[in-house]
Structure 1
Amino acid sequence: MPLWQWIADAAGVVLLLVLCYAIALVVRRRFIQRNGGTFELSHRARSAPTGRGWVLGVGRYSGETLQWFRIFSLSPRPRRTWRRTGLAYLGRREPEGNEQMSLYADHVIVTCGSELGDIDLAMSPSSLVGFQSWLEAAPPGQGTARQGPGL
């Protein structure tokens, strides 16, 4: 078999694998969205200089928890989970510098307090309203970890 046929076969296999991966991502996203309550949510996975450490993802409300899924992962399980009673809204800010390129367009950065320290999340302004409502809707007697401004 000539070399060009080997190259064409290899390119075909790579293209097929990329197509299968893309289809699997779409199926996974539909699986995650089946119960509703999902929105685009980025998480700052590591505390790095401004603009670094952001990972794109999808957030989903599930009862008393906020689940976060990496966008390019095939895992059906959430990568991070935060309990409503363990979060407190501390404030918001606009993306600065490289953060504008790392995040979805028009997203704002939200800082939340938790037992393990501050958490940075990025979401759209309309998702932020829903997030704040979800935090405030905790059952009576179950306050947040600590109250921040705006709550």
Structure 2
Amino acid sequence: MRIVEGIGIGVLILLAALALLFLRRVVIARQGGTIELGVRLSTMVPGRGWSAGLARFAGDDLRWYRIFSFWPGPRRVLSRRGLSVDRRRTPDPAELLVLPPDWVIVRCISRQSPVEIAMAERALTGFLSWVEAAPPGESTPETRPYRYRTN
């Protein structure tokens, strides 16, 4: 009888955790201006290090939240001030194991460090518009997003 109770409690805890993750995603998405976005957290192994998430545009910031995290705040914040798009490319065969085939990988350079982000082709247009809409005086020839290289 104790084994059945233990299994029941374990299943209940697992369901509560899944419900909490779902509720967190709903709260983030409800605020509007969200897109699905993958961020490469590690470049140690080629084609690996990608983490799925949800990004929300908030003024001059793009706030990225990991999908499978209980932390309520963003894991990474990209400010469009000083953000430039270096290049764009399609996913490598190894990256296609974790990224959808219709996604595009964009390498951005910010004031902190370079970052690779992956998003759907249709979301890329909105992202580039957001980067380009930097406040006056922030956009210089080297930070304009339309000057990127492909592959």
Shift of 1:86: 2.3
Normalization by structure 2: what TM-score? 0.89
Normalization by structure 1: what TM-score? 0.89
1:131 counterpart residue number: 127
Distance 1:65 1:43 in 2: 15
Q: Is the 8 A contact 2:82 2:110 kept in 1?
A: yes
How large is the RMSD of aligned CA atoms in angstroms? 1.7
Q: Which blocks of at least 5 consecutive residues in structure 1 are unaligned?
A: none
Is 1:141 matched up with 2:143? Answer: no
The DSSP-based 3-state class of the residue aligned with 1:86 is coil
Identical positions, percent: 41
Bigger-Rg structure (1/2): 1
Is 1:23 matched up with 2:32? Answer: no
| Residues 12-36 of structure 1: CA deviation (Å, up to 9, x unaligned) | 1111011101111111111111220
Specify the code of the residue in structure 1 equivalent to 2:80. Answer: R
Which among 82, 88, 97 is matched to residue 84 of structure 2? 88
Distance 1:145 1:117 in 2: 19
2:6 counterpart residue number: 10
Distance 1:48 1:106 in 2: 24
Q: Which blocks of at least 5 consecutive residues in structure 2 are unaligned?
A: none
Answer with 55-64 or 109-118: which moved more: 109-118
Shift of 1:146: 3.7
The DSSP-based 3-state class of the residue aligned with 1:119 is strand
Aligned length: 147
Answer with 61-70 or 138-147: which moved more: 138-147
Matches within 5 A, 1:63-82: 63-82=59-78
Answer with 138-147 or 7-16: which moved more: 138-147
Is 1:32 matched up with 2:28? Answer: yes
Shift of 1:53: 0.8
